[in-house]
């Protein structure tokens, strides 16, 4: 299933909830604002964890640069991202 960023109100709500929770800050490098080009990353992959797609505990805010740096290595970052969420809870 492909995400429809513009028309899926449930996905928009998920994204906004994660961004607000993370104070619109990359959780890896702490970049903020529009220049950071913030994105919401699914900790457990969208394709393989359909029950968690809209669960805010499965999302984390990353800047575009950090998001790109983990591409292809997402599984290696699961425990790291979960520990960040635990620390910030």
DSSP states along 49-73: -GGGTT-GGGEEEE-HHHHHHHTT-
* The pLDDT value given to residue 73: 96
Q: What is the residue whose two structure tokens read 């995400």?
A: 3
pLDDT tens over the chain, length 89 residues: 566 767 889 999 999 999 999 999 999 999 998 899 999 999 999 888 999 999 999 999 999 999 999 999 999 999 999 999 999 88
* The pLDDT value given to residue 1: 57
* The pLDDT value given to residue 33: 86
- In terms of Cβ atoms closer than 10 Å to its own Cβ (0-12, 13-18, 19+), residue 51 is exposed
CA–CA gap between residue 41 and residue 45 (Å, rounded)? 9
- In this structure, what token pair is assigned to residue 61? 């805010």
* The pLDDT value given to residue 3: 65
* The pLDDT value given to residue 2: 64
């Amino acid at each position: 299933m492909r995400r429809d960023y513009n028309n899926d109100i449930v996905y928009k709500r998920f994204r906004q909830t994660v961004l607000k929770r993370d104070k619109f800050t990359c959780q890896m490098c702490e970049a903020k604002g529009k220049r950071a080009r913030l994105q919401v990353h699914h900790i457990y992959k969208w394709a393989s964890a359909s029950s968690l797609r809209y669960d805010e505990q499965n999302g984390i805010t990353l800047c575009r640069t950090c998001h790109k740096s983990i591409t292809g290595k997402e599984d290696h970052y699961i425990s790291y991202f979960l520990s960040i969420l635990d620390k910030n809870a």
